[in-house]
């Protein structure tokens, strides 16, 4: 391995090293504030190295960093697409670290492990966005999933243990299914690299009588989608979501709902738009079906929930459906419109991250003080914690898709990408999405009604420490900024999409 290879993987090495540093620091200090500070400030290293790589790409004008004979570039693509997710995941984990300041005080013996596992999982998520080879994808997925399973079981109670066990078992099953799909792809194409798989699929003699031209490829795509569906929390692979969201530590749920979802969709985009590009429009019909199912199941079941974390569990299933609309939006008109689908997904992920983190940070503060996640216990929260109640209300309004918040712009963008394909099925999918957005207003507004209109059960004032308030304030400002002035993130998303569609 050359020095240039080390430079290519330096952001990932820096983040993994930070995880080790936090665990070691926990051996010599029990000060929660110090561990939070080390974890947060240390993120500057992978962020700076990612910015350095972005500057190199900009100055060279290349689509990705490359070097003759590089071993790393056989498995990773260091391009604008990967760097977009580097910054998104680093921003999410940084805010979650700050928001965990008060929550982790109940974990007297495991604070270092808590932050270390979170940083290791973030390392796997960043790798997922850059991998272009099936074995590396599987390794990165396991690096992402196993720390999250441990984090889900962190609290010393039965619900947390159940959440961790369910996440681990269902994750193992989905990984096994996905691995079998990868084995079929390797057997059919003779390669594990996505670009070589695309060439093999394009040049092989395929019968037009079968979907995808081959039963082996059809079965492989179905198995891969089943494995990816677990990571995306899309229906009908969502059975783990509500129980894990209810039992896991709330900051972990915030991290899982945003960063893990972003990494999963980055993986799906790279695999399908590069590896399976030769299959044309065959696979988008499957994704459209998953999108409709996820939106409908997520929103309808969320209506019946009384626990706010379970409600957000079904909400994240519904939003996975909205995002899948953009993934399925394979344009058929011209090259310029081809980037519309992938770029809409990237922008939606950024907008969803801002809104969902705002909501969960408020829930962290409130739940940590009232020791309850029942929606009815949020009664009178406007008088007890005005800042938290207003921030949570804005996040809930944003998740509906009301202007001028981030997800309003994201839904317009993603639905426009679907309509722009010219496919009648995609138009119907947009109609389903709009109807589901209206349905979602019921359970989101119900929480606002409880907080603003119902009398308070208790009268004591609630609030969080300054790190938690800073994280909440930054997330809320980003949520509004992406709705009012989305040009910067839209531009970055479009540049990343261009690189993706060019093959990395």
Is 331 in contact with 341 (CB distance < 8 Å)?
A: yes
Sign of CA dihedral 240, 246, 248, 249: positive
pLDDT at 148: 93
For the chain, how long is the longest CA-to-CA vector? 73
Residue for token digits 């938290």? 388
Report d(CA 476, CA 382) in Å as an integer.
17
Q: In 3D, which of 211, 223, 133, 137 has the Cα closest to residue 184? A: 223
Give the total residue count for the chain: 504
Per-residue pLDDT of the chain (504 residues; tens, 9 = 90+): 678 888 889 999 999 999 999 999 988 877 778 889 999 999 999 999 999 999 998 888 777 877 666 667 778 888 899 999 999 999 999 999 999 988 888 777 788 899 999 999 999 999 999 998 899 999 999 999 999 999 998 888 888 899 999 999 988 998 899 999 999 988 888 888 888 888 887 776 454 555 556 777 888 888 888 888 888 888 888 888 999 999 899 999 999 999 989 999 999 888 888 877 766 555 677 888 899 999 999 999 999 999 999 999 999 999 999 999 988 886 444 454 567 778 889 999 999 999 999 999 999 999 888 888 899 989 888 888 899 999 999 999 999 988 888 898 899 989 988 888 777 788 898 999 999 999 999 999 999 999 998 887 777 777 778 888 999 999 999 999 998 888 899 989 988 888 887 764
Residue 333: the pLDDT is 42
Phi, psi of 131, deg, nearest 5: -70, 140
What is the pLDDT, as a whole number, of residue 229?
87
pLDDT at residue 222, rounded to an integer = 85
Q: Residue 374 pairs with which residues in a beta bridge?
A: 307
- Which residue in 146, 8, 138, 155 sits closest to 78, CA to CA? 8
pLDDT for the residue 332: 43
Looking at residue 121, what is its pLDDT? 94
CA distances from residue 468 to 50, 120, 347 in whole angstroms, order as listed: 26, 22, 25
User: Which tokens belong to 406?
Assistant: 């981030």
Reference 84, options 361, 270, 327; nearest CA is 270
pLDDT at 63: 75
Residue 282, SS3 per DSSP: coil
User: CA-CA distances (angstroms) from residue 276 to 49, 161, 187, 282, 503?
Assistant: 31, 39, 15, 10, 11
């Amino acid at each position: 391995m050359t020095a240039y290879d080390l430079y290519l993987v330096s952001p990932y090495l820096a983040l993994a090293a930070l995880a080790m540093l936090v665990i070691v620091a926990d051996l010599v200090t029990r000060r929660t504030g110090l561990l939070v500070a080390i974890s947060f400030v240390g993120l500057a290293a992978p962020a700076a190295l990612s910015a350095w790589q972005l500057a190199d790409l900009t100055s060279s004008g290349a689509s990705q960093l490359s070097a003759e004979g590089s071993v790393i570039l056989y498995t990773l693509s260091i391009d604008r697409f990967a760097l977009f997710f580097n910054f998104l995941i680093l921003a999410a984990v940084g805010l979650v670290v700050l928001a965990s300041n008060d929550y982790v005080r109940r974990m007297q013996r495991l604070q270092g492990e808590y932050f270390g596992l979170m940083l290791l999982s973030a390392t796997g998520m960043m790798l997922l966005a850059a991998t272009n080879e099936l074995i590396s994808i599987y390794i990165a997925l396991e690096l992402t999933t196993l720390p999250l399973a441990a984090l889900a079981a962190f609290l010393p109670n039965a619900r947390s243990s159940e959440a961790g066990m369910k996440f681990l078992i269902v994750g193992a099953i989905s990984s096994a299914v996905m691995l079998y799909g990868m084995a079929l792809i390797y057997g059919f194409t003779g390669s594990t690299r996505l670009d070589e798989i695309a060439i093999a699929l394009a040049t092989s003699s395929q019968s037009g009588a079968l979907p995808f031209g081959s039963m082996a490829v059809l079965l492989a795509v179905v198995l891969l989608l089943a494995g990816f569906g677990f990571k995306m929390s899309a229906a009908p692979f969502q059975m783990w979501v509500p129980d894990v969201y209810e039992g896991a530590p709330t900051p972990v749920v915030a991290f899982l709902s945003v960063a893990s979802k972003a990494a999963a969709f980055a993986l799906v985009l790279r695999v399908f738009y590069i590896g399976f590009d030769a299959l044309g429009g065959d696979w988008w019909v499957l994704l459209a079906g998953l999108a409709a199912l996820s939106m409908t199941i997520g929103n309808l079941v969320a209506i019946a929930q009384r626990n706010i974390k379970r409600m957000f569990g079904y909400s994240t299933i519904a939003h996975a459906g909205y995002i899948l609309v953009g993934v399925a939006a394979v344009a058929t008109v011209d090259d310029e419109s081809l980037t519309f689908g992938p770029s809409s997904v990237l922008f939606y992920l950024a907008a969803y991250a801002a809104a969902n983190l705002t909501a969960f940070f408020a829930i962290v503060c409130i739940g940590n003080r009232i020791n309850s996640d029942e929606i009815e216990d949020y009664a009178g929260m406007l008088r007890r914690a005005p800042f938290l109640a207003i921030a949570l209300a804005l996040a809930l309004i944003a998740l509906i898709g009301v202007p001028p918040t981030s997800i309003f712009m994201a839904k317009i963008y993603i639905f426009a990408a679907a309509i722009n394909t010219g496919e009648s099925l995609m138009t119907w999918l947009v109609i389903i999405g709009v109807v589901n957005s209206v349905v979602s207003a019921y359970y989101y507004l119900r929480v606002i009604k409880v907080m603003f209109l119902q009398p308070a059960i208790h009268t004591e004032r609630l609030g969080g420490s300054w790190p938690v308030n800073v994280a909440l304030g930054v997330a809320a400002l980003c949520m509004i900024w992406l709705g009012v002035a989305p040009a910067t993130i839209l531009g970055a998303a479009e540049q990343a999409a261009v690189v993706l569609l060019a093959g990395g």
